[in-house]
Chain A
C-alpha cells in the first residue's frame, strides 16, 4: 500500500482514539461544556489545551523542513483575513454543535458505536455539506454571469 495513504489511515485511527478517550464522543459532555449556565463541565477545555500543547510544537519545527516526508509539499492554509463567510459559518456551526452535541469528527466516530442519533446526525451533516456546495456553485455561476454581462455592457 502507498505509504502516504497508510500514514494518513494511522493518523485517522489515532485521532479517533483520542476523541474517544477525551470524551468528545459523548454529547452530554459537549453540551455540559458549552452550557456555562448549567452544571458546567470544563473537561473539554483540557482536550483543546492538550491537543494544542502538542501540535503547537510541531508547527514550530515541521514546516521548516521544506517538504513533508511522504507528500510533495505542504498544504497549510495561509489566509489571515476575517470575512463575513468565516464568521457566519462559525455561527451556524456553533449553533448546530450546541443543538446536537456533535461536531464532525466525534459524530463520524460515533457512527461505529451504532447510536441512532449519530447516524441521523452524520447523514444530515453530509447533506449540509452537499447543500453548501450547491449554493456555492450557483453563487459562483451567477457572479460569472453578471461579470460577463458587465463586460458586454461596457
Chain B
C-alpha cells in the first residue's frame, strides 16, 4: 500500500506557494506580455545579441532578491537534504541546461504557463519530463541507495 509520510506532506504551503507563482506569471503576462518561463528568460539572455536584456536581467535579479528575503525570513526552505556528489550535480546541471533549451522550456514555461494556456506541446513536454524525472529518481533510490 502507498504510504504518504504525513510529516513531509505540506499541501497548504505548497498551494499558497503555487498561487504566488501563478500570480507572478500573471503579472508578467499582464504587464510585460511575456510568459514566466525561467529557462527561456535565462537562455534568451545568454544569446548574442540578447533580445530584451533589461527585463530578463530584472527578472533574474528579482528571483535573487526574493531568495535574499527567504534567507532572512524563511531560511529553512534552503535545506539541502539529499546526498549528491559534485559529479552528479554537474551532470544534472548540464542535462537541465541543455534539455530545457532543446525542449524550449522547463517546469515554469511548460508546466505552469503552457498548461495554463492548454498548449498541447507543453502537455507533452510536462508528461515527458515528469516521467523522466520519476524514472531517474527511482533509479537513484533503488540502484544507488538514494545517494549518488
Residues of A whose CB lies within 8 Å of any CB of B are 2, 4-29, 31-32, 34-59, 62-63, 67-77, 79-82, 85-105, 107-115, 117-118, 120-133, 136
Contact = CB atoms under 8 A, between A and B. Distances in A.
Contacts of A131: 94, 97-98
Interface in B35-88: 35-36, 38-39, 42-43, 46-47, 54-55, 58-71, 74-75, 77-82, 84, 86, 88
A11 B59 contact: yes
Contact of A96 (B18, B55, B93, B104): B93
Candidate in A9, A88, A125 with the most chain B CB atoms within 10 angstroms = A125
A26 B20 CA distance: 17
A48 B92 CA distance: 22
Given A21-B13, A108-B63, A133-B47, A70 B32 contact: yes
A34 B23 CA distance: 25
A98 to B, nearest CB: 3
Contact of A48 (B4, B112, B124, B137): B112
Given A5-B58, A51-B21, A132 B97 contact: yes
B62 A15 contact: yes
B81 A16 contact: no
A36 to B, nearest CB: 6
Interface of B: 2-5, 8-11, 13-36, 38-39, 42-43, 46-47, 54-55, 58-71, 74-75, 77-82, 84, 86, 88-104, 106-108, 110-117, 119-121, 124-126, 128-142, 148
Contact of B121 (A6, A46, A81): A81
A5 B112 contact: no
Interface centre among B64, B101, B111, B113, by most chain A C-beta atoms within 10 angstroms, is B101
A8 B35 contact: no
Contacts of A71: 31-34
A125 B97 contact: yes
A94 B65 CA distance: 27
B97 A128 contact: yes
B15 A47 contact: yes
B29 A68 contact: yes
Contacts of B35: 75-77
Task: Identify the interface centre among B35, B96, B116: most chain A CB within 10 Å of its CB.
Answer: B96
